[in-house]
Structures are given as C-alpha cells and as structure tokens.
Chain A
Amino acid sequence: MSRKILLVAMFAVLFGVFATSMIELETLFNTYGKTYFLEHGYAETGASNLVTAILLDYRLFDSLFEAGILLIAVSGVIWISKHDVEEKNAKFMIDKYKTPDLFITFARLVYPLMLAFGFYVIINGHISPGGGFQGGAIVATAILILYYIDANKETNIGLIVTVEKILYLLIVLMASISIITQGAFFTNFFNPSADADLKAIYLVLLNVLIGFKVALGLWTIFTAFLKEGR
C-alpha cells in the first residue's frame, strides 16, 4: 500500500514539474523555423509537401538512421525468432478453413486497389500527404492480405532481408551522390537554383526506395510472427 502512495506522490511531483514548464511554453516557442520553411521550402527542395522537404532534404541524416533502425529491428526479430531463415515451407497460424469465404473473395477484389493506392501515396509523396514510410506501410498491408487468401504461401525470408539490405545501401548511396555534385553530404544532388520539377526527380527516387524498404521490412516482421505462432 505504501508503494502505491509513493507512486502517486512521484506522479504528482512529475505532473507539477511538467505543468510549471508548460507555463513558459508561449515564450519558448517561436515561429522562425515555420516562417523559413514557408518562404524558402519549395524553392530550395522542390517539394510542396513541407514534411517531405524536411524528411528528405533538410534532415535526411535523421531519416537515414530511421530506416537503419527499421533494418536493425527486422534483423533482431528474425534472429530471435525460433525457426531458421532457410526454412521455407512453414505451416502458418492462419487456418484456411477458419477464414470466411466472403473475406477471401473481397480480399481478392480489394488487394490490387490497396497496392495501387500504396504506390500512389509513395510516388506523390512530395506534392500530397504521404511519403515513403506511410506508403510502404500500405503496400505491406496489401501484401499481408495474400496470406489470408492463400494460407500455404511459401516465403523465402532470407531473400527478402537481402533485398532490404541492398535497398538500404542504395538509399545511402543516393543520399551521398550530392558530395560529388554539390560538395555537401545528404542533400539534393541537383543545384539548389535548379527548376523545382527537376529537383522532384530526386525526391521521387528516394521516396520509392524508402517505400519498398519499409514494405519489405514490415512484411518480414509479420512473417516471423506467423511462423512463431504455429
């Protein structure tokens, strides 16, 4: 009982500290960064979606390690997972006879639409809401529906992880091209004064690479959990 009283007291202290720090929030927060992105963001990066401009140009260094952490976590999940990578023909947890026929029929209809929508979100990441990470999640969801349609589907996890590693290397290489053309790390490889449509080529390429990498990573995690649950 005394432990819970101590816990509540600790939470009260934490809450007080936070509430007093929030009083000064109005003076701490300023709009210089926002104004800068609003005025120069499109001209400097060629992306009218400012979140993509920050992710893929201003703070590309962060995004690279974000993709790297995804790769490391996928490797960890597979390594912890009980079954070997070489095992191909695992029986999955999903039983075909328990999945309703209605779901299977509609999944076949919805599957190409989901895939097309995922590609749309990936490719238009620089002019509309979305981008590589979000579109990759949609594509991964579309792929996972296939496991409900065909329960005996074979998956070669080793091949998927190898392709994912190659894609990560390609992302790093694509981000490093700018050291040759621009003399600076991790930015657009076109000149900042170039036309905005020309600079969008770089954004689309990087979005597509990141999207496929994220889709493959989430697919691998799902497959590892399926094999574990049998």
Chain B
Amino acid sequence: MIGIIDYHLNNLRSVQKAFEKVGAESFISDQPEALAGADKLVLPGVGAFGKAMDNLRTLGLDAVIRRSVGEGKPLLGICLGMQLLFTRSDEGGSFDGFDFIRGEIKQFPSTVKVPHIGWNQIDIRRDAPLLRAVTDHSFVYFVHSYYAVPEEDVALCTTDYALPFTSVVQKENISGIQFHPEKSQTTGLRMLANFAGVGDRHAVIGAL
C-alpha cells in the first residue's frame, strides 16, 4: 500500500487517481501512524518550500518520512516534494530540506519565463526501473520556478530550460520527479506504475 503524504498544501487527489488508474492501491493521510504503516511513501507537493517543511514538522510527518527512508522503504517526491529531498532551497529565503540528497534548489535565471510551465522533454541519462517503458525525449508536464542542483550523481533524467536541469533523480530507495507524472498522461502514468511495482499494467496505460 502506497501512503500519499498530506501536509495540507497540495493537490493529492490527482496523484491518488493516477495510482488508481494504473491499478495501484494508495491512501492519503496526514497521520504519522497511518503513514508509518505504508510500504511506500509519496511526497507530492505544490507551493512554497519553507511552508512545506514547516507543515511537515508541525504535523509530525518529517519524522515518519525519515524513519521510513531509514528502514529502506521507497520514497517518491513529486515536484516540490522532489525539491524537499535536497539539502537547502533559496526559495523566499534559505530553508533546510530533508538532505537525503546533497544539493541545492535554485531559481531559474531571468533569461527565461518563470514559472517553467508546460510540456518539455526528458533526456534519459541513466536507466532505472522507474523509467521502464519510458521513451527517451518524451514530453512531460512541468510547473515550477525552482530546480534542483544535486551535488551527487543521482540524475536519471535532465531537461533543457535555460540550462539542462535535473528532472528525475534516484538515490537508493529515494526517488524524485520534478514534473507532474500524474498530469503527464501515458509517460507519467508509466512512471507511477513503475514506482508502485505494477509495471505489468503498461498495456492498460498504453491504451489511454
């Protein structure tokens, strides 16, 4: 069972519906005890970095995330949720993240439109189970103003926007997707199916 972490900022319904579509069971909760019982955790997210970490702490969810990761449970961060996996962000000040992956979150330069909104391509740098049945250069849906700069070799995909930035990461049981897989039609659903371990549903997704 996949636990979707509700920290009172995000649109969780779409993520849950996407898992449902690929045949994976999930539940949404803001309760540490309930989430501790999940086999895998998803940290979605839309909103501001500092506020997100605040809410996670206030709700006592940061501890359960750290503990689950320590136990080796898979954790998937989506969009802001991926950014929270890193050391620090300079969004609206300087805020500490989980530091599961060493690196910083930076704002796109002023040479391009910000937010980066729309369908852009992923260039696969390293293959991984998360990318099973995903075609190189597929278009996926992005909405973000900040991007991750890892200080470790964790990039599975990069995307070009002003510069090549890291769009999918994986480090052991921790993975992150900067775009919105739940809004990226077939490609995104495939990745969620891969994370959920229901990759055999790809035929169903292909028919969407």
A and B interact physically? no
